[in-house]
Amino acid sequence: MKNLSSVFLISVLVASLAACQPEDDSVDKISADLILSNGKIVSVDEAFRIFDTIVVTDGKVVELGDASLLEKYDAATVRDLDGKTLMPGFIDSHTHISGDPKRYIDLSEVTSITEIQDLIRAKALELGQGEWITGYGWSEDELAEGRKPLRGDLDVAAPFNPVTLTRAGGHSAVVSTSALGLAEINNNTPDPEGGVIERDENGVANGIIRERQNIVGRLVPESTYDELLASLEINLGDLLAKGITSITDASTAPDEYAMWEELYAKPGVNLPRSAVQFQWFDLEGIEEAKARSGEGSEFLKIGPIKVFADGGFTGPAAFTKEPYLNQGDYRGYLNMPAQDLVDHITEIHDAGWQMGIHAIGDAAIELVVDTLVEALLRNPREDHRTYLNHFSMRPSDETMEKMAEHGIHITQQPNFTYTLEGRYVANLDGWRLEHNNPLRSPMDHGIHVAISSDILPIGPLVGIYAAVTRKGMSGRVFGADEAITIEEAIQGYTIKGAYLGFEEDIKGSLEPGKLADMIVLSDDILTVDSEEIMNIEIEQTYVGGELVYQN
């Protein structure tokens, strides 16, 4: 009895001591780097599932689920989403980012010619007489005067400086009288091949040059490497505030790629992931860059080859099947003679490269598709993923059927419907006006359609708004039958963009094993009134699980 009593007393004592020990929450828990919980996490997986909690380790998604994951994982950082929506970061599969020289002025926010003149005066004062002034981003549709700036407007602001200011979209520019003189352009100068020197009713050059503005721009002195590198870092970093975590830069010279490599090699930089497109004309430079960088990394790589088939709508110079509205028999231009374009595309295809082909007008689209189909039938390539940039005018159903059959994809800019409304209304009519920047029809034909910005403007929410509402800046609806759902628009700006870069297995959706590139929104993009989409703010941006931007 005595022994049994002792055992009993010892057991009670041990149990009491155990009960007094503090509970260790980390016992049997799995270590993680980051947990975001209590939110509406839009995975953009195949089922478009919604979760409450996401777990991240080593820059990748580990698991998604409900709040019980907080009991399963022990994370270094745990953040309460407070009900906010979290989704994959935007992938802009066609944009243009570069470093800007000191002579450059940003015109993307200007609302009047008077404002442009003020910016020119300030830059002329900063640089001094005789120095070139450059700029980008004006649009007559957003100017209070309701017209293009002309050479006389520039002359008033900077009579002693040559000035060239590129329109938003990059397909035309206005240049000053001084710049025209230095380029030896006068009223009798013939239009350059594939371009237009605009003239007034008296035949006097008004300063607007369409498509071939480099006949003046070639005279602008080169900028220093250091100023471009510093500016490129700023411009790329600014994308994070817009929720953009990956881009394809759609036209960089091979000799500029070293600058991108140097920038991405810098320790501690916060930048989106980038793929860079080259044009085919510098084969030695492309081969050198490819030999040096190989397949690249998750942060920087060489993308598809860029091909220009025709001009743009801001000129206008896109190559169309029918003449432009009220412009006689004018149908725009191909960027090179038709047979040269066919040979160009065929050569790149046979060399084994993926292509991103600028094709805006319906005639250009149909020529490019026919050329690609012929090349694929003669020299089949499995999973080539060549795609058309823009696809602004809806081609024939037969052409779209060919695209679907042969795996020819699209990266589309629905934001053009919004920001270029004035250009479409001025130059198109009827069915082709209503079906500008088609989305529903190519998707219904089975074509893979990604969404991107082409910096008109660069904010993805404008493109998503226009894709869903089909509204221009005036509020007018264009071809409501081309609208897509908010879920489809989100897919276009995430997983479908990843697919064009052969990266759908590592990003574009939030799934275990994929990169934790994600954004937190101020509002629920899935349920907010469509008219409020452009008012949604990016509150946080994560790249590889690292918080790189916070509003």
Boundary (domain end) residue, out of 460, 484, 508: 484
Alpha-carbon span 11 to 488, nearest angstrom: 64
Note the pLDDT of residue 9: 40
Helix (H) or strand (E) holding 14: helix 2-20
Q: Are residues 208 and 348 in the same domain?
A: no
Q: Are residues 208 and 315 in the same domain?
A: no
Residue 474's pLDDT is 96
**Within a domain: 281:** no
Question: pTM for the complete prediction?
Answer: 0.87
Co-location of 463 and 362 in the same domain:
yes
- Give residue-wise pLDDT tens across range 49-90: 999 999 999 999 999 999 999 999 999 999 999 999 999 999
Same domain, 200 and 333: no
Find, among 326, 307, 417, 323, the residue nearest to 362 by Cα: 323
Backbone angles phi, psi at 40, to 5 degrees: -110, 95
Residues 321 and 449 in one domain: yes
**Residue 96 forms part of a structural domain:** no
pLDDT for the residue 145: 95
- Among 243, 298, 233, 301, smallest CA distance to 271 is for 233
C-alpha span between 471 and 313 (Å, rounded): 18
Kindly give the parts of the chain with pLDDT less than 70.
Answer: 1-27
Do 336 and 469 have their domain in common?
yes
Q: 315 and 180: one domain? A: no
Query: Cis omega before residue 190 (within 30°)?
Result: no
Other beta carbons within 10 angstroms of residue 464's beta carbon come to 26
Does 331 share its domain with 473? yes
Residue 169 domain flag: yes
Last-in-domain residue among 484, 501, 534:
484
Domain of 199, in residue numbers: 102-217
Could you say which of 169, 196, 217 is where a domain stops? 217
Query: Alpha carbon 397 to chain centroid distance?
Result: 27
CATH classification at residue 395: 3.20.20.140
Are residues 223 and 256 in contact, defined by beta-carbon separation less than 8 angstroms? Answer: no
Report in angstroms the alpha-carbon separations of 11 from 8, 20, 22, 60, 485.
5, 14, 19, 47, 66
Give every CB contact of residue 534 below 8 A, 6+ residues apart in sequence.
459, 461, 462, 465
Question: Is 128 a member of any domain?
Answer: yes
- Specify if 297 maps to a domain: no
Task: Indicate the DSSP class of residue 459.
Answer: -
Structurally, how many domains does the chain consist of?
A: 2
- 181 within a domain of the structure (yes/no): yes
Q: Is 255 part of a structural domain of the chain?
A: no
Let me know whether 339 and 454 are in one domain.
yes
**pLDDT at residue 313 in the model:** 87
- Show the 3-state SS of 273-294: EEEEEEECCCHHHHHHHHHHHC
Write down the pLDDT at residue 20.
44
Question: 111 in a domain, yes or no?
Answer: yes
Strands, E assignment, 280-427: 300-308, 355-359, 387-390, 409-412
Residue 134 sits in a domain whose CATH number is: 3.10.310.70
Q: What is the pLDDT of residue 537?
A: 98
User: What distance in Å separates the CA atoms of residue 157 and residue 105, rounded to the nearest whole number?
Assistant: 14
Q: What pLDDT is attached to residue 27? A: 65
Same domain, 314 and 213: no
